[in-house]
Structure 1
Amino acid sequence: MSLANLGMAFEDGINKRSVDMLKRRGWRPRTIGLTGYGSVHSLHVMGRVIMGDPDATPESDPWVDVHGEGPGSRPARYPALSDNAGEFLARTAQEARRGWRQFFTAQVGHLPVTVRVDGREFATTTDRSGYIDVMVSDHGLAPGWHPVTLEAKAAEPVVTDALVVAPTTRVGIVSDIDDTVMVTMLPRAALAAWNSFVRHTNTRKPVPGMAELYAKVLDVHPDAPMFYLSTGAWNVVPTLKRFMLRHGLPVGPMLMTDWGPTPTGLFRSGKEHKRVQLRNLMITFPQISWLLVGDDGQHDPMIYDDVAREHPRNVWAIAIRRLTPTEQVLAHGTMESAELPIRGRSAATEHGVPTVHGNDGYALADELPDVLTSQRRRRERREQVEAGTSPDQAAAGAAVADTPGTDHAAATFGGPA
């Protein structure tokens, strides 16, 4: 038996004993709904079943979700929140929650689950780690946000949100979380443990200007889907969702990972997780060109650039938050960026995919318009020349974008040409 299989067997044994012990204490299976997503052709429904304390209160429970209760479709930017949800956010902002509660769970594997989508039922079971992962084809849902019900055996039904992206959508955003929208100074082990397990979840701070950056893009593209891509554990999703809402960040599906052993190793590859998820998004939404946002504390610049070189038509631009020297040291031990694309072999030089750097969201918002305008001009000139327009006519047409009175936001965040 391989070391990876031994690790999986050990994890499964510990979890089984934990589930049995909690059952004797009166705990019951509890379903955690994760935000689903898909196209008009297929819908990806996700969730997890863990053992839950029946005596937990909403304020003390790290697994309480916040989702919209309004009927009908809602903008991709923010699901509509009820008054009760707003009151809940205000109450939990005052609570001193310890992050460790999110990680010490007993997941319920191989449990029957019924997924209900628009009146149709789909049967599935949780995997060995308690996850629900179902692809629903031909669901018949219109673009927008929709409720999905997850009903696991012996657990109360749970309603979660799922986003159906319109086939006419041309722009989307993928954002890293740690040190991109939230200051965590991960993943150096000691600080990771402190930030994740000890610090109160309501003390984490947003990166300045990131909410404003995303708002500018979404003002021009209100139907643009917002995805968060992270190597963090699925356990933190409910807390992260409250963090996004509390700090004015757009809500969207979170593509996280699991820290446990796999059939191929004791630990999952964070870099491979990000690459796979980005490729899946490009397969699911081939018409969308993505703004990829990350930071230079670890591998985001190389991962994004590699994907942009493979799929240049699906990457609108890359925006990298530049960490301070102190943050770089805390992140990986040196004052320099961990990994950057090789000069001369990048998506920018090979395919014209622009990359910008800035210390925060405000700086990125200042840098992006100029490079996006230049990108649009180059593409328009190329297309006009290919169509038989003379170089002088192409240059004159490209200059129109600079004429006085042009809406700067629409011109610069107007999407790929």
Structure 2
Amino acid sequence: MARPFIAARIEDRINRQIDSVVRRRGWAERVIPFTGYGSSKFIRVLARVVLSPPLADGQVRPLSHDAPLNRRGWRNFFAAPAVATACECTVGDQTFLLPTDRNGYVDTRLPVRGLMPGWHHVHLRAGADEIEAPILILDPEQEFGVVSDIDDTVISTSLPRPLLAAWNTFVLHESARQAVPGMSELYRQLLSEHPEAPIVYLSTGAWNTFDTLTRFLKHHRFPDGPMLLTDWGPTNSGWFRSGQEHKRINLRDLAIDFPKIQWILIGDDGQHDPSIYGEFAEAHPDRVRVIGLRQLTPGEQILSHGTFQSLELEEIADELTVVPEVRAGDGFDLEPLLKRAMTGDLQEQRQNA
């Protein structure tokens, strides 16, 4: 196997040194649960194991104790990952040992069968810390689902892309962010017509912002659903992870995990969503019902990538003859277009034209 990229080796060395120092000071493992998903045949467990300072009585600091700190996003980026450790996952009478990756993350599919559709919890344990993680189980016959981007799709950032990471890091409260008008209403309407259908939030944002994003979505009444974020920083092959590849891989995984679902893919035209969704739709036209894109204003386009125009070629929409694509400035205008596209009215108009 090729030697990991130098940045990854440097990061690993720093993490090992931090791990050694804080453990000598009595820090212990703490589990941060993320929202997973599954079916009657498997579950996907998502979590992170970090090291946390003990309380005065020597007990592990619980998540509830950190709630005020978690609202200060910058603190989440200074967590000490637990190096070379593992997390126990208990589901009913089954227990699995899940190894963490080089930054303490767990992303594992387990052969757990027989769970009924709906929300469940699995028990995660690392060291003395134990907590529950939510898991959404889907009906294997489910045929409808929504995949949504986050930044500039449900959250109006109004910031240049180079500063977006810093904004996500240093913002104090989720209430400082603005929701894109009509998007929560759009999603609630779509899912009200398909009560057992899932919504999956697929973003290139960092896992460190999971708590803040979850509170934001809840505050603005977005439907609950699994959130698939990414781990920023060096990889074994480069300085940074590819956000585009992260989305492509997870779209592919969703298609494999739920072969009967036709997804509504919703994003924005400020970066690469049109091409990523278009590529997926061309490769898997039977897995995509419609693509919906929020159109950024000229000012937002400049902040996103430096020009007035959309970064993607408009011809992409014309090439999608099997899967319709609709665009509008907010959720209120997207809703009727999506419904027309799902009923076939939009495709008939295109063919007649």
Structure with the bigger percentage of strand:
2
- Aligned residue number for residue 334 of structure 2: 364
Q: Find the partner of 1:354 among 321, 324, 329.
A: 324
- In the alignment, the residues of structure 2 paired with residue 220 and residue 148 of structure 1 have an alpha-carbon distance, to the nearest angstrom, of 29
Q: Structure 2 regions of 5+ residues with no counterpart?
A: 56-60, 349-353
Q: What is the CA-CA distance between 1:344 and the residue it aligns to?
A: 7.4
SS class of match (2:35): strand
Q: Percent identity?
A: 46
SS class of match (2:135): strand
- Aligned residue number for residue 40 of structure 1: 40
Contact 2:183 2:332 in 1 (8 A): yes
Q: Find the partner of 2:80 among 106, 118, 132.
A: 106
Contact 2:73 2:172 in 1 (8 A): yes
- Aligned residue number for residue 69 of structure 2: 61
Q: Find the partner of 2:139 among 147, 152, 166.
A: 166
Q: Find the partner of 1:147 among 115, 118, 121.
A: 121
Residues 82-120 of structure 1: per-residue CA shift (max 9 Å, x gap): xxxxxxxxxxxxxxx432112112111221321101221
- In the alignment, the residues of structure 2 paired with residue 180 and residue 150 of structure 1 have an alpha-carbon distance, to the nearest angstrom, of 32
Contact 1:356 1:367 in 2 (8 A): yes
Question: Structure 1 residues 192 and 377, CA, compared in 2 at 3 Å: closer, same or farther?
Answer: closer
Question: Structure 1 residues 344 and 242, CA, compared in 2 at 3 Å: closer, same or farther?
Answer: closer
Q: What is the CA-CA distance between 1:272 and the residue it aligns to?
A: 1.0
Contact 2:324 2:346 in 1 (8 A): no
- In the alignment, the residues of structure 1 paired with residue 209 and residue 225 of structure 2 have an alpha-carbon distance, to the nearest angstrom, of 15
Residues 243-263 of structure 1: per-residue CA shift (max 9 Å, x gap): 111110011111111112112
- Aligned residue number for residue 338 of structure 1: 311
Q: What is the CA-CA distance between 1:162 and the residue it aligns to?
A: 0.5
Larger gyration radius, structure 1 or structure 2: 1
TM-score, reference length from structure 2: 0.90
SS class of match (1:320): strand
2:311 corresponds to 1:311 = no
- In the alignment, the residues of structure 2 paired with residue 3 and residue 339 of structure 1 have an alpha-carbon distance, to the nearest angstrom, of 36
Contact 2:182 2:332 in 1 (8 A): yes
TM-score, reference length from structure 1: 0.77
Residues 296-339 of structure 1: per-residue CA shift (max 9 Å, x gap): 11000111011001111110111100111111111111111111
- In the alignment, the residues of structure 1 paired with residue 260 and residue 14 of structure 2 have an alpha-carbon distance, to the nearest angstrom, of 45
SS class of match (1:109): coil
- Aligned residue number for residue 200 of structure 1: 172
- The count of aligned residue pairs is 339
Contact 2:159 2:303 in 1 (8 A): yes
- Aligned residue number for residue 103 of structure 2: 129
- Aligned residue number for residue 297 of structure 1: 270
Q: What is the CA-CA distance between 1:370 and the residue it aligns to?
A: 2.1
2:232 corresponds to 1:224 = no
Contact 2:38 2:138 in 1 (8 A): yes
Aligned-partner residue type, residue 96 of structure 2: F
1:182-197 alignment runs, 5 A limit: 182-185=155-158, 188-193=161-166, 195-197=167-169
- Aligned residue number for residue 410 of structure 1: none
Residues 194-227 of structure 1: per-residue CA shift (max 9 Å, x gap): x122222321111111100001111110011110
- Aligned residue number for residue 351 of structure 2: none
- In the alignment, the residues of structure 2 paired with residue 172 and residue 343 of structure 1 have an alpha-carbon distance, to the nearest angstrom, of 23
- In the alignment, the residues of structure 1 paired with residue 258 and residue 158 of structure 2 have an alpha-carbon distance, to the nearest angstrom, of 32
- In the alignment, the residues of structure 2 paired with residue 107 and residue 58 of structure 1 have an alpha-carbon distance, to the nearest angstrom, of 16
Q: What is the CA-CA distance between 1:365 and the residue it aligns to?
A: 0.9
Q: Find the partner of 1:242 among 209, 212, 215.
A: 215
SS class of match (1:110): coil
Question: Structure 1 residues 10 and 22, CA, compared in 2 at 3 Å: closer, same or farther?
Answer: same
Q: Find the partner of 2:231 among 255, 258, 273.
A: 258
- In the alignment, the residues of structure 2 paired with residue 227 and residue 171 of structure 1 have an alpha-carbon distance, to the nearest angstrom, of 12
Aligned-partner residue type, residue 134 of structure 1: T
Aligned-partner residue type, residue 273 of structure 1: H
Q: What is the CA-CA distance between 1:124 and the residue it aligns to?
A: 2.3
SS class of match (1:145): strand
- Aligned residue number for residue 268 of structure 1: 241
Aligned-partner residue type, residue 27 of structure 1: W
Aligned-partner residue type, residue 365 of structure 1: E
Q: Structure 1 regions of 5+ residues with no counterpart?
A: 63-96, 379-417
Instruction: Give the RMSD, CA atoms, in angstroms.
Output: 2.1
